[in-house]
Structure 1
Amino acid sequence: MAGSQTIGSEVAVSRLEHYPVTFFAIGMGMLGLTLALRAAEHGWHLPVTTSGAVLALSCVLLAAVAFGYLLKAIKVPGAVAAEWRHPVKIAFFPTVSISSILLSIAFLPLVPGLAHFFWIAGTLVQGGLALAVIGSWIGHRPFQTPHLSPAWFIPAVGNVLVPIAGVPLGYTDLSWLFFSAGLMFWIVLLTLVMNRLVFHDPLPGRLVPTLSILIAPPAVCFVSWTHLSTEPGAFGQILLDLGYVFFLIVLTQVPRFRTIPFALSWWALSFPVAALSIASFVHAQAAGSDAHRLIGTGLLAVLAAVIAFLLFRTGLAIVRGEICQPE
């Protein structure tokens, strides 16, 4: 009996050791769905009900994910350090701060005080993580071209998210600082990542879904720009259209997705589509464009289908014990 308990304990520790930081992408995807639904409710003048229910579910899932990773940090801190040293996984650490910033955006019209707390916490952690990740990139660690992937955009996306709640909360100058840094590193990283995708070996199977992250920076930049500027203007139009361009580019790669096994990296498909749907609704309201409202609705339908599939497939993978396994 004692032997079986020992084995069970060892299995639990092993699962916890391999509990990946990429789990936070679930929170990002669900909160992205929440905000896209809210944008659609405002765009079509519908009651704010569905988005509220999804926000509650998102908070539950994100709390579960955060508890699991906190437990990992307490029980097996060496495993967290190993993830930080990993040339690919290090880029996913800002998903923690991004989730907090998304919570602030989601709660801003509902509970401003709570939104303020999440924004301050998320922005402080985002600033620290962005500096730490970029410092690691330009330090003396042996990064190589195959380590590059669209996941490297995640720290930049976190920075450009800051103004969406930061400006309404009164942190305009700080929002400009984060937006400027995120925009600059997005442009720099876009050049590096496109070079890697075109002139080097294809992405490994597990990282193929991260191609959809190409969509997120311009889409999020557009939404933030509408908070920083009195009107979107030509620059805003360029950002939004770049989001559509990258969406079409990612569509050309969809057949590749069918050939790879499911992994948590598949959650990378969710937030970028949510960001582009939100950007479409924001532009529709600013320009009075029915076409962009329809585009936003179409993207929301795609997002809902993607999220439903990801929730089902993730639940199935947990039941089967396919997640939290050594790679």
Structure 2
Amino acid sequence: MTTAHETAPANGAASRLEHYPVTFFAIVMGLMGLTLALRAAERAWSLPAMLSTWSLVLSCGVLVLVTIGYVAKVLRAPGAVAEEWRHPVKVAFFPTISISTILLAIVLLPIAPAAAHAFWLIGTVAQGVLALAVIGVWIGHRPFQTPHLSPAWFIPAVGNVLVPIAGMELGYTDLSWLFFSAGLLFWIVLLTLVFNRLVFHDPLPGKLMPTLTILIAPPAVAYVSWSHMVGDPGPFGQILLNLAYVFFLIVLTQAGRIRTLPFALSWWALSFPVAALAISSFLHAHHTGSDTYRIIGTLALALLAAIIATLLARTGLAISRREICQPE
């Protein structure tokens, strides 16, 4: 006969799996962003591709672990996945799955083009489906309230503008322009809605405060994509990059409030936008030959490295204390 004591660990494991959040993929986004930023720095300073290789290994390892965990949740606790999809805030994080896949394709493109092509196709199809599904939820008959709106709603738009970075090199020109156009449109629309919420309504809850950093990502990623689509980024590219710097300075005004908050997985929202800022700065330095932008990229990379190191330590500590995968 099985005792209650014997079944407790299994029930505890099942409970943690039920609360395994889709936001874990934000960790993958941050690590993939670090890999790309390190690679850009190595090119900018003519350094050997050593740190970016180690970062790639770490990123892929974490992607595998996170994917296995979430697939297990889908198979063993589909009701919990459905509940997460119905959540007015968490639903915006589902495209982090497709974004992580597209980032993997971008990272692999110079070293394994065939694998990159396959992952790009999977990620792009998933991004299109998830973006449309999330937007369908937003404009459906569900009763969203202003407090449900946060910068996390930019995530589907960011995923769309990532597509051309590998898509152009793989030969999918028209599809790249389609995703870029959609991403740019929804970035502008959501920017208006998000700023209205930030200025005229209650402050963001503590757990969502780190998502303010996501404001940086759309223009920074759009700059990189625009450069891949047209070559010379020109005045429009300069505007996009400058907007990324403006949003970085705006977020910086709230850094004191963010620093005092208790740790949560939402803190990983700090990582990918800073990575995008570093990558776009290094790329602009390449186009213009400007040492100023190369130094800005290096400073952004140093900040990113400090953020990633802190987040890895805090996440590891939270996992060891079983503070993650708990009911909210």
Interval of TM-score (by shorter of Structure 1 and Structure 2): over 0.9
Give the structure 1 partner of residue 101 of structure 2: 100
1:135-154 deviation line (CA, Å, top 9, x unaligned): 11001011111100000000
- Say whether 1:313 aligns with 2:317: no
Give the structure 1 partner of residue 151 of structure 2: 150
1:148-176 deviation line (CA, Å, top 9, x unaligned): 00000000000000000000000010000
Letter in 2 for 1:75: R
Letter in 2 for 1:303: L
Q: TM-score, normalised by structure 2?
A: 0.99
Letter in 2 for 1:128: V
- The separation in 1 between residues aligned to 2:231 and 2:21, in whole angstroms, is 41
Shift of 1:257: 1.1
**Structure 2: gaps spanning 5 or more residues:** none
Match of 1:240, SS state, is: helix
Give the structure 1 partner of residue 303 of structure 2: 302
Give the structure 2 partner of residue 185 of structure 1: 186
Give the structure 1 partner of residue 233 of structure 2: 232
Give the structure 1 partner of residue 272 of structure 2: 271
Shift of 1:230: 2.9
- The separation in 2 between residues aligned to 1:220 and 1:141, in whole angstroms, is 30
- The separation in 2 between residues aligned to 1:125 and 1:19, in whole angstroms, is 21
Match of 1:170, SS state, is: coil
Match of 1:152, SS state, is: helix
Match of 2:171, SS state, is: coil
Match of 1:292, SS state, is: helix
1:15-36 deviation line (CA, Å, top 9, x unaligned): 0000000000000000000000
- The separation in 2 between residues aligned to 1:77 and 1:293, in whole angstroms, is 47
Superposed counterparts of 1:89-238, under 5 Å? 89-238=90-239
Match of 1:208, SS state, is: helix
Match of 2:286, SS state, is: helix
What percent of counterpart residues are identical? 72
Give the structure 2 partner of residue 261 of structure 1: 262
1:36-72 deviation line (CA, Å, top 9, x unaligned): 0000000011111110111001100111001000000
- The separation in 2 between residues aligned to 1:97 and 1:135, in whole angstroms, is 17
- The separation in 2 between residues aligned to 1:94 and 1:279, in whole angstroms, is 22
- The separation in 2 between residues aligned to 1:182 and 1:146, in whole angstroms, is 23
Letter in 2 for 1:192: L
Letter in 2 for 1:322: E
1:219-250 deviation line (CA, Å, top 9, x unaligned): 00000000111311110000000000000000
Match of 2:46, SS state, is: coil
- The separation in 2 between residues aligned to 1:218 and 1:281, in whole angstroms, is 15
- The separation in 1 between residues aligned to 2:281 and 2:57, in whole angstroms, is 24
- The separation in 2 between residues aligned to 1:323 and 1:198, in whole angstroms, is 31
Shift of 1:258: 2.3
Shift of 1:275: 0.2
Match of 2:174, SS state, is: helix
- Say whether 1:41 aligns with 2:45: no
Give the structure 2 partner of residue 10 of structure 1: 11
Shift of 1:115: 0.3
1:238-290 deviation line (CA, Å, top 9, x unaligned): 00000000000000000101221100000000000000000000000001010
- The separation in 2 between residues aligned to 1:291 and 1:4, in whole angstroms, is 63
Shift of 1:107: 0.2
Letter in 2 for 1:293: R
1:174-220 deviation line (CA, Å, top 9, x unaligned): 00000000000000000000000000000000000000000000000
- Say whether 1:51 aligns with 2:77: no
Could you list the structure 1 runs, at least 4 aligned residues long, displaced by more than 3 angstroms after superposition: none
1:62-106 deviation line (CA, Å, top 9, x unaligned): 110010000000000000000000000000000000000000000
- The separation in 2 between residues aligned to 1:32 and 1:194, in whole angstroms, is 26
Letter in 1 for 2:221: V
- The separation in 2 between residues aligned to 1:214 and 1:230, in whole angstroms, is 25
Shift of 1:5: 2.0
Letter in 2 for 1:94: P
Match of 1:201, SS state, is: coil
Shift of 1:2: 2.9
Letter in 1 for 2:250: I
Match of 1:161, SS state, is: helix
Match of 1:143, SS state, is: coil
- The separation in 2 between residues aligned to 1:79 and 1:125, in whole angstroms, is 20
Letter in 2 for 1:202: P
